[in-house]
Structure 1
Amino acid sequence: MKVEIYSDIACPWCFIGKRRFEQALDLFPRKDEVEVVFRPYQLVPDAPEQASPHRAWLAERYGPQSVAMDARVAELGKAEGIDYDFDTALHVNTFLAHRLLHLAETEYGARTQVALKESLLTAHFSDGVDVGDREQLTRIAVAAGLDRDRVAGYLAGDEGTAEVRAQLAEARALGITAVPTFVFEGRWAVQGGQEASTFLRVLEQVAAETAEAAEQHGQDRQTGPADADAACADGACAV
């Protein structure tokens, strides 16, 4: 089973959603058969490349309620083992970091990409790191197992730019307007940082659906796209 997670490094709910999904995956009997890949999405595609304080940016965008927004997310994060530090977090464009995640997936594999994603989220939300800075990104990538020279050269050029832009366009074509969005087998989608129990039900449902489809195919029956109504149980809806 392949799960593609559309996510942004600057999205606090993406961090919560990642942790909850991983909890569900740990309880899923066929965990070893699941491939998890992160796909790019930018909540603020026109964010500046020069970092600035997160608090100031959020207050400008949402006004006085921004403090309560951060406080709520921070409280929910504690339950997932996440230490949000919004006082030191920085607002910056995440495109460069998405390029780095693309490199990790294509040259090192999905598991390395997942580890790098965790490191980037932690750096951004807990450590006050500028995830738009090439030197900082290189340091994080090396710690995740990537080659220093390869990363430095990659980030200095424009490799991966066209591919990441194409994936961002694909997200728009799929109708994804919020993150995190979890797409299972390219057919079913779950939006938001759902509870682990919800993700587990979806994993079980998709596994059952795909097993049934494989059985029907083996019996030379015609199979078509999943029925949208049938696929919308337990929060999982067809893309």
Structure 2
Amino acid sequence: MKVEIFSDIACPWCFVGQVRFERALEEFPGKDDVEVSYRPYQLNPAMPYEPQPLLDYYLARGGAAFRDDHARISDVAKAEGLDFDMERALAVNTFSAHRLMWLAERDHASGVQHAVKHALMRTYLTDGGNVADLDTLVTLAHQAGMDPDRVRADLASGAGTAEVKAAMRHADQIGIRAVPTFVFNGRLAVRGAQDTAIFRQVLEDVAAQSTPSASDTGACAADTCST
């Protein structure tokens, strides 16, 4: 079974959905036959590369509702073992981070891409790090087992730019409009941070070649996150 996870590093629901899916996968008897890969998506491609406080950026754009929505998401995340800190988080463009994800997939096994994805989302949503900063990306890559000198050279040269843009166009062409979206075997899309039990049922049903049902829940689209 192949599972493609479309998500953005800046998306809090994406991190919640990812850990719920991973918990379901760990419980799934056929987990060793499941290949997971991560696909790029940007909620706000126009986000500046110069970081600024996340809450200030979105309060200026959308008002207090952003703070309230993300406070609720943070409470849900805490129940999943994630500690989001929106007061520290920096609003910054995630395209370079997606390029790092592409490099991880190109050069390493899926476990490295998984480790990089977790590190990037933790850096953005918990640690208040700048995921557009070259030194930060190189450090995270090195910690995940990548060659830091090669990563630095590749990111500085623009490697992966065309490929990530093409992957984002593909996401648009197949109808990805909100994240996280989980695509199973290229034919079944499940959107949102579903409960672990739902993901487990989807895995079982796809393995049995039946079609499960799941309602949209916990997703982000175009700078907005819904519960």
Q: TM-score, normalised by structure 1?
A: 0.88
- Separation in 2, partners of 1:175, 1:206: 20
Report the equivalent of 2:201: 201
Report the equivalent of 2:225: none
Equivalent residue runs for 1:48-59 within 5 Å: 48-59=48-59
- Separation in 2, partners of 1:37, 1:61: 33
The reply on whether 1:121 has 2:121 as its aligned counterpart is yes
Report the equivalent of 2:94: 94
Report the equivalent of 2:152: 152
Q: How far 1:4 sits from its partner (Å)?
A: 0.2
User: Aligned partner of 1:73: which letter?
Assistant: I
Question: Secondary structure of 2:76's match?
Answer: helix
Equivalent residue runs for 1:129-140 within 5 Å: 129-140=129-140
- Separation in 2, partners of 1:99, 1:187: 25
- The runs of at least 4 aligned residues of structure 1 exceeding 3 Å deviation read none
- Separation in 1, partners of 2:85, 2:73: 11
Equivalent residue runs for 1:181-200 within 5 Å: 181-200=181-200
Question: Secondary structure of 1:43's match?
Answer: coil
**Which one has a bigger Cα radius of gyration?**
1
Structure 1 residues 104-138: Cα deviation after superposition (integer angstroms, max 9, x where no partner): 01111211101110011111111100000001110
- Separation in 1, partners of 2:39, 2:85: 25
- Separation in 1, partners of 2:67, 2:99: 31
Report the equivalent of 1:222: none
Query: Which sections of structure 1, spanning at least 5 residues, go unmatched?
Result: 210-229
Q: How far 1:72 sits from its partner (Å)?
A: 0.2
Report the equivalent of 2:173: 173
The reply on whether 1:43 has 2:43 as its aligned counterpart is yes
Mean CA deviation greater in 59-68 or 183-192: 59-68
- Separation in 2, partners of 1:142, 1:204: 35
Q: Is the 8 A contact 1:104 1:146 kept in 2?
A: yes
CA RMSD in angstroms, aligned pairs only:
1.3
Report the equivalent of 1:85: 85
Q: TM-score, normalised by structure 2?
A: 0.93
Question: Secondary structure of 2:208's match?
Answer: helix
Report the equivalent of 2:162: 162
Q: How far 1:236 sits from its partner (Å)?
A: 8.3
User: Aligned partner of 1:72: which letter?
Assistant: R
Q: Is the 8 A contact 1:188 1:236 kept in 2?
A: no
Relative contact order (alpha carbons < 8 A, sep ≥ 6): 1 or 2 greater?
A: 2
Equivalent residue runs for 1:200-219 within 5 Å: 200-209=200-209
Report the equivalent of 1:106: 106
Equivalent residue runs for 1:54-69 within 5 Å: 54-69=54-69
**For the structure 1 residues 236 and 112, does the alpha-carbon distance in structure 2 shift closer, same or farther, using more than 3 Å as the test?**
farther
Query: Which sections of structure 2, spanning at least 5 residues, go unmatched?
Result: 217-227
Equivalent residue runs for 1:6-25 within 5 Å: 6-25=6-25
Q: Is the 8 A contact 1:3 1:185 kept in 2?
A: yes
Q: How far 1:61 sits from its partner (Å)?
A: 2.5
